[in-house]
Amino acid sequence: MGNTTDFKHFTKQSKKGILVIYINLLYKVFKAIWVLLFLFIQKFSKISEDKLVYIYGFIAFILLFFLIRAYLIFKNFQFKIDKEYFVLKQGIFKKTNTEIPFDRIQNINFKQNIIQQIINVHEVNIETAGSTKAEISIKALAFNDAKALKNAITIYDKKETIVEKVTKEKPFLKIGFLELLKVSLTENHLQSLLLLFAVLVGFFQQINDLFDGLGQKETIDKYISENTSALETSVFLIVGFLILLTITAVLSSVVRVVFKHFNLTVYIKNNALEIYQGLTTKKSVILKRNKIQHITIATNPIKKILGISFITFKQAISGKVAGKKQKDKIIRIVGCKTEQINQIKKLLAIHTQLEEIPFQKSNKYLKIRNYIRSLFFFIPLNLLFYFGMEEYNAFWINILVIPMYLISVHFFYKKRIFKFSEDVLCIGFGILETHNTYLPFYKVQNIKLKQTIFQERKNVADLIFQTASGKLKIPCIDLEKAMFIYNYTLFKVESSTKSWM
C-alpha cells in the first residue's frame, strides 16, 4: 500500500492480497467439485497416460485462469475516503462504484484466517445496517494500514473515536483454554448431534447422486443394504453406534467453541465493547453501544452450576441479509460471570431496577394450543404407520416421543415470560435453555397486536415488536395486559429523543 494512510486518493490492497484472493477462489472451486476429485483419486490407477496428460493440462489451465482472475480482482479493487464517505471501485468486466456514508457504517472488524496469519495481513470488513451489497471486505491490509483506515472512518465523530491502547489496558473479560472447555460442556449437544446427522445425510446424498449419475447405483444400494442388515441384527452395534454419535457430538461442540472463541478477550472503552477471539480465524469486533439493538442472556442448569452465562448481541440488519451473513452479525460472548453481565447492562443503560420486578406469564391458552396442535402431527404419523408402512413395531416410538413432546411443551410455556420497567422490556423464552432478551423501548420500530379468532374467544393476543435486528414476540397474553404494553410502547417510542442507531 505504500506509506499513504490518509486514503484521500484511491488505494489498493497489499500485493499479498493476490494470494489471498487466489486461494479463496480455489477453495470455492474445491467445495463445488470435491466429490469428482475424490472419484479421480480413487480411479487414478486405472486412467491411461494419454488421458492423464489431458487431465493435467486442464488442471493447469484452471489454476492459471483463476490466478489471472485473482490478479484482475486485486488490480480493480480500489478504495478511498472522500469527505465523510467510503468510496469503493471494483469489478473486472462489470465495474461498480459504491459510496457509503460514515453514519451508515455499523462496524469495522478485523479478521485473519490461517493464510492471512502466515503472510501477516488483515482482512477488514466494513459492515452496514443496509443492503448486503454495501458490505465490503478488504482481503489484505497491513495491520497499521487497517488500523489507520478504521481511525480515518471513525474519527469524524469524536464521541465514537476508538483509541488503540488495547494491549496496555486490563481486559474486562478473558477466557482461557480450560475455561473454554467448561463452556463447551454447557453447549447444546443435541444441536451438534442434529447438525452432524444433517452433514452425514448431505454427504450420503451427494455420494448417492454421483453413483447414480455413473450408473453404479446398484453397487452402493447393495453396500448399504448389507451393512444395514448387520446393524439391525446386533444390539451391540446399535448401542455402540449411538455412543459413538454422542461422543462425536460432544467433541464437535468442544472443537467448535475452542476454534471460535479461543483466547476470548473483551474490553470496555469509549462506550463500546472490543472483542478479540478465534484460533484458525482470528476476529476483532467493535460493538458500539448505540448500534446494539438488544441483548439476550442465556443460561441452563449446567451453566448455573458453573456460574456462567452467554450474552448474544443483536445489531441492525437488512431484510435482504440471510443465512451465514446474518449469523455473522450476531456477536456472542461466552463464559460471563454475574458481575460482568451487570457491567454490560450498565453500559447499555439496562437499569438494575428491572431485576426487582417479577416476571409475568403468558396465558395457559398457549400450552393448551400447543397440545392441540400436537394432535395434527401424531395422528397422521400413526395413520401412516398403520396404513402406509404396515410397520406395527413403529408404534413403540410413541412411548418415547409423546412424553418428550409433552415435557417440551410444559417447559416452553413455563419459560415464556415477560416483564418491563420504565425504559426496558425483558422477554423470556426457551425449552432446555433459558433465554432472557432485554429490549429498550426506544429501539422498537413498530409494534403489532394480533388476535386469531380462537384467541379472541379466550380474550388473549400476541404482541410482536419489530426492531432493526428482527422481530420479538410475546405470545398469548391477556388482552388487557397486551393493550397496556402496546399503548405504553407507542408512547415511549414517540416521546423518546434517542436514536435507534
The whole-number pLDDT of residue 234 equals 57
Residue 233 has pLDDT above 80, yes or no: no
Mean pLDDT within 265-287: 87
Q: Is 120 left (phi over 0), alpha (psi -120 to 50) or beta?
A: left
Q: pLDDT tens, 316-328?
A: 775 555 555 556 6
Residue 166 has pLDDT above 50, yes or no: no
Q: pTM, whole model, 2 decimals?
A: 0.79
By DSSP bridging, strand 434-440 and strand 292-299 are antiparallel
In sequence order, the 6+-apart residues with CB closer than 8 A to the CB of 283 are 109, 110, 111, 112, 275, 276, 277
Mean pLDDT within 132-157: 78
Strand stretches in 260-350, DSSP E: 264-269, 272-277, 282-288, 292-299, 309-315, 330-336
Q: How confident is the model at residue 224 (pLDDT cuts 50, 70, 90)?
A: low
Query: What does pLDDT average to over the chain?
Result: 82
CA distance 99 to 102: 10
The whole-number pLDDT of residue 140 equals 92
Q: Which CATH class is domain 17-161?
A: mainly beta
Residue 286 has pLDDT above 90, yes or no: no
**Phi/psi of residue 343, each to 5°?**
-65, -40
Residue 330 has pLDDT above 70, yes or no: yes
* CA angle (383 as vertex; 380, 389 as ends), nearest 5: 120
The whole-number pLDDT of residue 318 equals 56
Mean pLDDT within 451-473: 93
Residue 438 has pLDDT above 80, yes or no: yes
The whole-number pLDDT of residue 501 equals 65
Q: Domain map of the chain by residue range?
A: 17-161, 183-261, 349-501
The whole-number pLDDT of residue 37 equals 72
121 and 141 in contact (C-beta within 8 Å)? yes
Distances (CA, A) of 242 to 192, 217, 248, 328, 401: 14, 28, 10, 32, 17
DSSP 387: I
Q: How confident is the model at residue 158 (pLDDT cuts 50, 70, 90)?
A: very low
CA distance 339 to 337: 6
CA distance 183 to 307: 11
In sequence order, the 6+-apart residues with CB closer than 8 A to the CB of 62 are 29
CA distance 415 to 474: 11
349-501 CATH choice from 2.30.29.30, 3.20.20.70, 2.40.50.140, 3.40.50.300? 2.30.29.30
Mean pLDDT within 350-379: 88
295 and 438 in contact (C-beta within 8 Å)? yes
The C-alpha cell 425483558 sits at: 426
Q: pLDDT tens, 391-402?
A: 566 667 778 788
Residue 198 has pLDDT above 80, yes or no: no
Q: How confident is the model at residue 291 (pLDDT cuts 50, 70, 90)?
A: confident
Q: Whose CA is closest to 472, among 499, 446, 497, 495?
A: 446
143 forms beta bridges with none
